Structure 1
Amino acid sequence: MAKDNLSAVLYGIEDLRLEQRSIPTPKNDEVLIKVEVVGICGSDVHYYRYGKLRYKEVKKPMLMGHEASGQVVEVGKNVTHLKIGDRVAIEPGIACGSCNFCKQGKYNLCLTMQFCATPPVDGNLTRYYCHSARFCHKLPDNLSFEDGALLEPLAVGVHGCRRGKVTVGSVVLIMGAGPIGLVTLLSAKSFGASKVIILDLVDNRLQVAKQLGADYVLTIEKHMSEDDIVRKIQKILGESPTISFDCSGSEICVRIVLKVTKRGGTAVLIGMGKLEQTVPLSTALFQEIDVIGGYRYCNDYPTAIEFLKTGRINVQPLITHKFKIEDTLQAYETAISGKDNPIKILIYPNKDRYPAIFS
């Protein structure tokens, strides 16, 4: 067994350090994973910059990372569905399985959820990591470790589309063409949406959205008012969207979603913004719009895997940057600066498998 377990650990605001940690031993219901790919998420960047997110604050050193895949190298004695050598995607939230939410099949709402890189729980940006076998999903042979790491954000898009009941013929609006907006686009098209329009401030993200199958894109310019944007959306689509997603968390985007959604339609809120916002709820009342929250994912990894396995979704165009774990700080600074237009940044803890990338 290797002894090198280089790990990326956050000690406080902008205090991210690389250090050696001992390689853990899996408990009876766990597997030990040689981590191959870890993506950087907006929440990771928020913890790095501010030391907290919503009610969660970094009060002790925390191992970063939650979008990950790897290979099983050891199994606990109670694990029967996985074996050494299996390639897996790590679903980062470990639900208790016994609370009322878990029993109802809504384990993403579990009140005792242990979620990677959410204080005080350690993440998986490390060479070797133990995780509950219940939340490790075996990767089909035709999927890469990169696909496996990107299953985490993709599952968010799948969950949002399920919450909004996107189906054949749906007319969809997506506010925000960041990683979550783009995976929501991919999911909506895979669920059968007939028309999808996506909006953002950044042109290069909208170009990627076109590549991924968006029917229409619209750049939001600073001089545009909310009503200007609403009218442009309706003009481009030729109608109002039946299902609208806010994937930005921005107050103005939530307001636009509530104003533009078709009477009797659905507004799905996925982006995390300010805790309190001023939004036109009366519009939702008069138009009888269903306002729905979409929180992470719940039983969505199998669908996301099937979308990738069958080729209905390709997440590779989302990948813009690749770093060795030794260059983790540079990866985070790239995410913050926006240099070279990052969308999805990947870190490779065990670079020996990727000589072509890091030669």
Structure 2
Amino acid sequence: MTAATSVVAGETLPSSMRASVLTGALKISMDERAVPTPALHQVLVHVSKVGVCGSDIHYYREGRVGPFVVDAPLVLGHELSGRIVAVGEGVDTSRIGERVAVEPQKPCRLCSQCKAGRYNLCPFMEFYATPPIDGAFCEYVVIESDFAHAVPDAVSDEAAALIEPLSVGIAASRKARIVPGSRVLIAGAGPIGVIATQAARAFGAAEVIVSDPVAERRAMAMRFGATSTIDPMTEDSRPLKVDAFVDACGIPRAIVSGLESLRGAGVAVLVGTGFDEVSMPIPTIMNNELVVTSVFRYTDTWPLGAHLVASGQVDLDSLVTSRFDLDTVEDALNADKNPDNLKTIVEAK
């Protein structure tokens, strides 16, 4: 079977589409590109909503995120939802018209990491909006059919797009070994910190303490499930002795304080990206047999994410505080300068 050529409404697919392209530091331009054709086992998705991630902002302002460097024009955006409008060979045509949340990655499926179930660590990964792979600030994208996850009607297009950052929170909760009754400390009340707070509560945490120096951010964390907050500029978290610590800010001082806030055999999960090197309190780690680990993307999180949203255990819709379109992507990438902004959405269609 060849790729389907008509959308659910019976219209003919266009041959070209608009794409918002990063062409240099602080430079975004609108480009006209060919609509991609889905290959074997792929689907073509008409993009609906795209969340703005901190990595998008880093690429826009600094041209890099850690070892990933932008050296050619790049379409940003990897948190997305949409509707399947065409399918490649090997995909049932009944999927045309299906609303989906896209898991924005393509592992090789053949390496030792993939075969061990750690496809997020695939050395041959092609991940949306990570050089040189284009992302979703455009009208159409292709993705492997099993990474286009169907979402129920109870999940909005915006929430479906935000299952991607929720997946980070789910991966963090799994790594932190959060179970019913756990006490958790989270450093940072930005988008990931707030989402990690909701995920921890959904996993059964009885207490989630969020640390952030900004009062407005602390108030936001309380709205989304934190049981209490700490101002790290004036309060000491070390006496807490929590079961798990999740760093969602990447600030060295916060990481060290979090490690020192753990009980014996506690787990620390590093999620935030910040400094390349952090001095760790080795005696604290060794003498308390702490487990220090990290999250790099996710594996097998979309079905659970969709369930948590559809069942009301996680609220993603209320996180959205600003909305833009493809013509104003540059404004979307600068929306974080507003201290009241939490999560930004770009509407692609």
1:87 aligns with 2:99: yes
Matches within 5 A, 1:175-186: 175-186=187-198
Match of 1:279 in 2: 280
Tell me how far apart the structure 2 counterparts of residues 81 and 254 of structure 1 sit (CA, whole Å).
49
> 1:153 is matched by which residue type in structure 2?
P
**Structure 1 residues 241 and 81: alpha-carbon distance in aligned structure 2, compared to 1, 3 A threshold:** farther
Match of 1:230 in 2: 237
Tell me how far apart the structure 2 counterparts of residues 214 and 340 of structure 1 sit (CA, whole Å).
19
Tell me how far apart the structure 2 counterparts of residues 340 and 19 of structure 1 sit (CA, whole Å).
31
- Structure richer in helix, relative to its length: 1
Unaligned runs of 5+ in 1: 351-359
Match of 1:181, SS state, is: helix
Give the counterpart of 1:155 among 154, 160, 167.
167
Match of 2:209, SS state, is: strand
Match of 1:353 in 2: none
Deviations 1:20-69 (A, max 9, x none): 11111111221111100001000000000011111111111111110000
> 1:31 is matched by which residue type in structure 2?
V
Contact 2:79 2:161 in 1 (8 A): yes
Give the counterpart of 2:55 among 25, 43, 46.
43
1:343 aligns with 2:327: no
**Structure 1 residues 340 and 266: alpha-carbon distance in aligned structure 2, compared to 1, 3 A threshold:** closer
Tell me how far apart the structure 2 counterparts of residues 258 and 111 of structure 1 sit (CA, whole Å).
30
Deviations 1:241-281 (A, max 9, x none): 11111111111111011111111211111112222111212
Match of 1:35, SS state, is: strand
TM superposition shift of 1:4: 5.4
1:312 aligns with 2:313: yes
TM superposition shift of 1:123: 0.6
1:166 aligns with 2:178: yes
Matches within 5 A, 1:183-222: 183-221=195-233
TM superposition shift of 1:129: 1.3
Match of 2:257 in 1: 256
Deviations 1:156-192 (A, max 9, x none): 0001100111001100000001111111100100010
TM superposition shift of 1:340: 5.2
TM superposition shift of 1:328: 0.9
TM superposition shift of 1:3: 4.8
Compare 117-126 and 10-19 and name the one that shifted more. 10-19
Q: Could you tell me the TM-score, scaled by structure 1's length?
A: 0.91
Match of 2:280, SS state, is: coil
Tell me how far apart the structure 2 counterparts of residues 326 and 62 of structure 1 sit (CA, whole Å).
16
TM superposition shift of 1:2: 3.1
Match of 2:20 in 1: 8
Percentage identity across paired residues of the two chains = 35
Contact 1:40 1:346 in 2 (8 A): yes
Match of 1:30 in 2: 42
- Count of residues in correspondence between the two structures: 337
Unaligned runs of 5+ in 2: 1-12
Tell me how far apart the structure 1 counterparts of residues 237 and 199 of structure 2 sit (CA, whole Å).
23
Tell me how far apart the structure 2 counterparts of residues 93 and 252 of structure 1 sit (CA, whole Å).
32
Contact 2:26 2:60 in 1 (8 A): yes
TM superposition shift of 1:296: 1.1
Q: Could you tell me the TM-score, scaled by structure 2's length?
A: 0.93
Contact 2:49 2:158 in 1 (8 A): yes
Contact 1:258 1:281 in 2 (8 A): no
Tell me how far apart the structure 2 counterparts of residues 320 and 178 of structure 1 sit (CA, whole Å).
12
TM superposition shift of 1:107: 0.6
